[in-house]
Structure 1
Amino acid sequence: MTTAYAWYFKALELVGDCGELSREHMKTLGVSESDPQPGFFRRRSHKDGPWQTVAIWLDATGRLVCLVDGRQTDAESIWTFACRNPISEETYHAVRGGSDWPGEPAPAPALTNVHSDPFEALKAEFESDKEIAEAFLKTPIKTKEQADKAATWTKRLSAIANKAVGLHKVEKQPSLDESRRVDEKWRDLKEEPKNLSTKMKRHMDAYLLEEQRKERERQAAAQAEADRKRREAEEAARKAADISSNPSDPVDLAAKAEADRLAKEAADAEREAQARNATAGRTGSKVSLRTFVSARITDYDALLVALKDRSEIREVVETLANRAARSGVELAGMEIASEQRAA
């Protein structure tokens, strides 16, 4: 028996009961998919699933027998999944008898019909685990057994988070599909008229710019005429003031009337000289020239210095610096920092 179980006892010696063989251990021991070894092991039923007991031995005829959770199975089909996790014979029989796995949290309580909704079921599972995990966090980790339990809890909580991501996607997917269908239905009818409208406006740019040039010429001429009439009005008003102020004097009355007439013409000419924006279209559909302001970079380095204290620039620089650090590239003005933490 000792010879038949030599591989198993060596593996158990390397990692202990319920330990996990590393790649280096596997190389040292030598693992072949077609050469299962007798012993006691455990394996996951599926990714992040519960542990299953595995027992492999040679019967009286020398034939290899394999039981997975008490059910006979082909040893070669499960060997590469089970061989990494040797367990003691005592643990095997204890778990088969109903005990919990050493260092493992107790399985979540069975869910009743009250939690038939996947969200409520997973929430109940998390609330149960959360209470135990938070109590565990209040005590410093000082032993390997405590560290093993903490590692198990991180795996279990991560599994809940991953399951929540999957369930969330499943529940949300129909809404996303319907949203995409509606978006696709309306996309062309929203975008094509808008794009065509923009093309029409660009088609009018040359005409409106020419109209604006003519308007500037008209405004300049009108302003010159307004200035001339304003000077005439000022001169007539001065002359009227120099003449006798006798209200009944015909000369005085005529001079004042002329001054008033010229003042009115000057005011009308000033209004005529006001700028008019070049437009096209009738009321409700008018199109006119508008001023759009944008930056034209003339000195990139100087602009970066001017913007360096803005939070948006700092965020972009930090993102690029972290990307460079993860690639092992140390740029001027930064250094690569590292820290170790449980993962």
Structure 2
Amino acid sequence: MTAVSIGALAASIVNRWAWWQNALKGNFGPMHEGEPQQGFYRTRFKGGKWEPVAIWLDDETGKWVAYRAGREVDPGEAWNFCRTHPITKEAYDGAINGQPFPDEDETVAAQVAASGHNSGEVDRADEIADQIEAALAGMKAYAKIGDDATAAKALSLRNRLNELSREADKKRDELKRPHLEAGKAVDAKWQPLVKKAKAGADQVRDAIGAWETHKLQEERRRQREAEQALLAAEQAQREQQADVAVMEAPAPTVAPVETAPSPIKPTYGKAASVKVVTVVKDVTDWPALAVYMSAHPDMQTLLRQLAQRALDAGRTNIPGITTEEKANVR
């Protein structure tokens, strides 16, 4: 073989890895189904564990060869599913030896690898509980995240916890649904009766309340008239004594006696008490009311929520607040 042909062959061999080497850097070249590129990759079935894939062109046969997790597979089909997931040779070797990929959370990798192996003797709720506890214990590694690789692994653990949460909730819903349907049937029969009778009772209550309010207003009117009459009598007495040399102390006035409304006693059922309360009739000055209530914790919470809603809607220059940019992981 001439020097030229040897050099061409060497270049050809080197170039077989070029696509994969560039893909490792995020520079993916043209990809065509069934036309593999030599390199190391990984793939998985939906919801399953990642498995290492090696693809190369056999020099002796001139045919493509592919192995997935140590078993020979169709090169074209393997390429179709692994081509967007190149991995390093070191990651491939580690995975072949049973180690998780460097960017995988160990707890997640172990749980995914063991999924589907329940013998049936273990209650699924207990199994999920154990997996959740293991995943929560793994959170210690991500108490503080200092690089993108750790953030990606932490996200895997978060996704696993969400997955376990959804599975547990799905099972809870499945077991609870028959009871809910039975409850709905009971409600459909009895709730209309409950609501109809309660609505009637509330209507009667409101009518009684209107009458008691009318009596209260009349009593307040009589008290005001009595106070005005008393003041007028005192004024007249002072005017009559204006020419008297020796002024006598005025007689003490007696304020009207406040009496609580009497309870209502029916001939059937329990008695009802009547309590005088003061209620807001109307708001005449919204800004003044807002300032007065602004120190209340509930008001502050509401204002904070309204301010955030305004920010979310794109509003700017909202007075009375400071803002900061924050990365929100969804």
TM-score by length of 2: 0.59
Paired position in structure 2 for 1:309 = 295
- Flag the 1:300–1:33 CA change in 2: closer, same or farther, 3 A: farther
CA offset digits 1:286-317 (Å, max 9, x no partner): 78988676423332222222211111122222
Q: In the alignment, does 2:319 pair up with 1:332?
A: yes
- Rounded to whole Å, the distance in 2 between the matches of 1:214 and 1:332 is 48
Segments of 5+ residues of structure 2 without an aligned counterpart are 1-12, 223-258
Quote the offset at 1:340 in angstroms: 5.2
- Rounded to whole Å, the distance in 2 between the matches of 1:284 and 1:133 is 60
Q: CA RMSD in A?
A: 4.7
Quote the offset at 1:175 in angstroms: 5.3
Paired position in structure 1 for 2:227 = none
CA contact (8 A) 1:208 1:279 kept: no
- Flag the 1:182–1:304 CA change in 2: closer, same or farther, 3 A: farther
Q: In the alignment, does 2:285 pair up with 1:299?
A: yes
- Rounded to whole Å, the distance in 1 between the matches of 2:144 and 2:272 is 73
- Rounded to whole Å, the distance in 1 between the matches of 2:211 and 2:152 is 77
Q: In the alignment, does 2:120 pair up with 1:108?
A: no
Q: In the alignment, does 2:127 pair up with 1:121?
A: yes
* Higher relative contact order (CA closer than 8 Å, sequence separation 6+): 1
Paired position in structure 2 for 1:40 = 40
Could you say which structure has the larger radius of gyration? 1
Give the counterpart letter for 2:110 in structure 1.
Answer: A
- Rounded to whole Å, the distance in 2 between the matches of 1:129 and 1:287 is 57
CA offset digits 1:225-279 (Å, max 9, x no partner): xxxxxxxxxxxxxxxxxxxxxxxxxxxxxxxxxxxxxxxxxxxxxxxxx998797
Kindly report which structure 2 residues correspond to 1:172-183, keeping only aligned pairs within 5 A, or say none. 172-174=172-174, 176-178=176-178, 180-183=180-183
Kindly report which structure 2 residues correspond to 1:205-216, keeping only aligned pairs within 5 A, or say none. none
CA contact (8 A) 2:42 2:53 kept: yes
- Rounded to whole Å, the distance in 1 between the matches of 2:128 and 2:209 is 65
- Rounded to whole Å, the distance in 1 between the matches of 2:157 and 2:308 is 28
- Flag the 1:80–1:308 CA change in 2: closer, same or farther, 3 A: farther
Segments of 5+ residues of structure 1 without an aligned counterpart are 15-20, 221-273
- Rounded to whole Å, the distance in 2 between the matches of 1:287 and 1:57 is 90
CA contact (8 A) 1:208 1:288 kept: no
**How many aligned positions are there?**
270
Give the counterpart letter for 2:14 in structure 1.
Answer: T
Paired position in structure 2 for 1:10 = 22
- Flag the 1:314–1:304 CA change in 2: closer, same or farther, 3 A: same
CA contact (8 A) 2:145 2:151 kept: no
